[in-house]
Chain A
Amino acid sequence: MTDPLLELRSVNKSFGPVQVLHDVDFRVYPGQVTALVGDNGAGKSTLVKTIAGIYRADSGDFAFDGKPVTIHSPKEAADLGIEVVYQDLALCDNLDIVQNMFLGREATSGGVVLDELTMEERARTTLASLSVRTVKSVRQSVASLSGGQRQTVAIAKAVLWNSRVVLLDEPTAALGVAQTRQVLDLVRRLADAGLGVVLISHNMVDVLEVSDRITALYLGRVAADLPAKESNLSQIVELITAGRSGDIGIPAATAAESA
């Protein structure tokens, strides 16, 4: 197995008196989809936001490319090549696809005037490299896109910046069958292109199909981190709901203590 691109060791995070993450170990490998699963409130979004630099871990070590790093702001995460596609997309309906993809990082000529042509070409190249074919024009407003297309734009926005790790927080939660397919294909292609991809999803069938590794969170603790091939549906469901399955998972005593 290759070395992890991003590695977290013993990360703890509390909001006031509530400890949300307990000694979390988490690894993201290049060229692989790592599924992050867990019940509502297990701490998945918190873990993602900690990696993205939105929250600051109370303790724990981060390593990127094998080197120790600190991530204290979204900018530091972006500088490392870590991008997040948030649960609530964060797109501006009144702007077009290109404008959304470059929002906050616009290309300019001479530092002042927007370089629309360069942005438009780069946006199109990125979408094409993701084999996105359902968009008629990169100049159409985001409001006119379907849910799947919007998700695609949000993902394209994340990979536009030569990103190396992309975290997707429930990207298919609000999508229909065909659109979910579209997004899952895209997720797979990102990994095939060598990126480290983290996918949060509640659909275990999708998770088993598209991911290489599965990390299960139970009440803020890592219950298991196993290859998708060696797992199955009932085992994951047990890990999510009870924190253990057979001889893997959190010892019953620990699980009871954090519950």
Chain B
Amino acid sequence: MLAAIRKNMPKDKVAYPRLPSFEVAGKDLKRTFEESLSKAGGKLFDIANKEEALQLFAELYPDAKVVCSATAEWTGNKSLEEVSAPGELENVDVAVIRARFGVAETGMVWLTEHELIVNSLAFLAQHLVILLDPDEISENMHTAYRRVDLQRADYGVFVMGPSATADVGAVLVRGAQGPRSLSLFFTKSL
């Protein structure tokens, strides 16, 4: 196969371009992030302390029976330590995960197996709560890709709001195969 490629490769070689990062000085990263994530269907909240977070959580998810947290900052009622197979998370109503950083341009958060502990948590849960330090927002996709460390993570995902589809009659529906909603709590630590 390599021989076939070599035989057919165009003779005129094209040089690799220099890639600018297109940063704009003075950009309000938190505000941009909020606008972007709202467009992608996420909801955002500024959280001052744990109490406020608990109260908001209770308001947002009054019917949640199974809450599973991947961060030591939050205690759910289903422990990831007891999970022996990823499918066991299928009954999770709300998952709480701390993201490493966010991306202002798109409203994405970066999650790897180190944040998720069990990868299926972010996809089987009906709803996601993402904790994000407002100082950990990268400006755009160029700056964001400098921060992802693919050497250190077998799996890493930029999550931009809840799962979505428009495959039935081109109508946007939030909550396709993955989470139906994503709430982002801005907090340095809880």
| A and B bind | no
Which B residues fall within an 8 A CB radius of A? none
